[in-house]
Amino acid sequence: MPGIGCGNLGGSLPAIASLNASYSTSLSIPSPSYLFLPPVQRKAISDVRRTFCLFVTFDLLFISLLWIIELNISSSIKESLENEVIHYDYRSSFFDIFLLAVFRFLCLQIGYAAFRLRHWWVIAITTLVTSVFLVVKVIISNLLFQNACGYVLPITSFVVAWLETWFLDFKVLTQEAEDERAYLAAVNAVCERAPMIYPRAVSDGQFYSPPESVAGSEEDLDEEGLGRKAVTAQEKEYVRQGREAMSVVEQILAQEDNWKFEKSNDMGDSVYTLEIPFHGKTFILKAFMQCSAELVYQEVILQPEKMVQWNRTVSSCQILQRIDDNTLVSHDVSSGAAGGVVSARDFVNVRRVERKRDCYLSAGMATDHDAKPPSGRFVRGENGPGGFIVLKSSSNPSVCTFIWILNTDLKGRLPRYLIHQSLAATMFEFMTFLRQRIADLRPSLRPHHHHIQRDV
């Protein structure tokens, strides 16, 4: 908005009902559904590992079936068994390929079903032995001149062995590692019962200050609220969901030391991940902006329905209902990602906006609304707790820190690694559009270099 200074922007912000009480309440009473639910009891063997063991069993049965078919081609099974087993010849017998399948079956079932190993060394040995043995056998034997099984058995055995390796390395071990991190996070949350929002000392330049007083109940907040209030049971449920999302966002911010770095771009923006109990993997974008916090608040948080004018990662945003001065329900449609591999998704979210000392927060999560039921036009995605945070600089009002917390389930049958890659790329793309928007509004803030030094 050319010509509007920071002071005018600050004065134009909407009324935030009972800021001090709301701030104290969110710090003093963390969401019970987030903190106190016991972690789900883990299974003795995970579903993905059980599927792997089933595939290993299929490997043995399929190779056995092919060998039995081969025994019946030229003569009776009895005569063929006598020739291939009793009078075994490495150059002409298929019996060793069957034994190779038994070797894989025993090693993998003992290692990954009985002992439940979480390392790839067992399958590395079985695959290496299988590959070397089959290559040597095909080179020096005369199996290819006997019948079709001379081709089918070695090729099938080779391919299945490598499929087992791929499945274990990219599915079983990866999935179980993610599940283990989520479970440990849930256990820690339950063991700590009600962890402090601020487990360490907070300096003036950091996000929050300790609460100044003890807050009252949520009912007291509603009575003290200004302007529009939640009236119906459904509206109060939306308010509860918004407060729950805000509580989870604050917990994520308080655990910055536990954020796992994933990648960064040339502008200095960084994407992190964090396993959240009961919600799974959460992506966190952190960026430094060469503009006031009020300007980012105005463009990203205050006017979500106008974001489609400059943010090409979103194709539609519609406000379905304004519940109170802090809470609204929106319907959002995302653009396709990953070169069109990930199609457009639509989301119905409840959002809560708050202003607390030196920061602006917008937290939200998935909800339902009668005005936008799921339709066949889009796949309905589901967002976990997340949102936008804009942090003012304590020393320089012309810069700020922007944080985007994203926890989403895109639904559909998409590979997990593809979803994770597309989310990180989408977050970087969003920052490109946001910086361009700020540059268009405030030409004097157009960046002259790529790396922004932290000023907070």
For 78-117, write each residue's pLDDT tens digit. 888 988 899 998 888 899 999 999 999 999 999 999 999 9
pLDDT value at position 338? 55
Residue count of the chain: 456
- Pick the closest to residue 274 from 254, 288, 301, 244 (CA basis): 254
Which has the higher per-residue pLDDT, 151 or 2?
A: 151
pLDDT value at position 42? 62
Are the beta carbons of 438 and 299 closer than 8 angstroms? Answer: yes
Give 8's pLDDT tier (boundaries 50, 70, 90).
Answer: very low
For 382-401, write each residue's pLDDT tens digit. 899 999 999 998 889 899 99
pLDDT value at position 297? 92
- Pick the closest to residue 326 from 389, 223, 405, 243 (CA basis): 243
Are the beta carbons of 455 and 400 closer than 8 angstroms? Answer: no
Q: What is the separation, in whole angstroms, between the first and last Cα of the chain?
A: 25
Structure-block tokens of residue 77: 């099974």
For range 168-180, the mean pLDDT = 82
Alpha-carbon separation of residue 401 from 7, 273, 382 (angstroms): 19, 18, 27
The pTM (predicted TM-score) of the whole model is 0.54
Give 1's pLDDT tier (boundaries 50, 70, 90).
Answer: very low
- Pick the closest to residue 429 from 291, 343, 311, 322 (CA basis): 311
Per the prediction, the chain carries an average pLDDT of: 78
Q: How far apart are CA 401 and CA 360, in angstroms?
A: 11
For 390-442, write each residue's pLDDT tens digit. 999 888 989 999 999 999 887 776 667 677 777 888 899 999 999 999 998 87
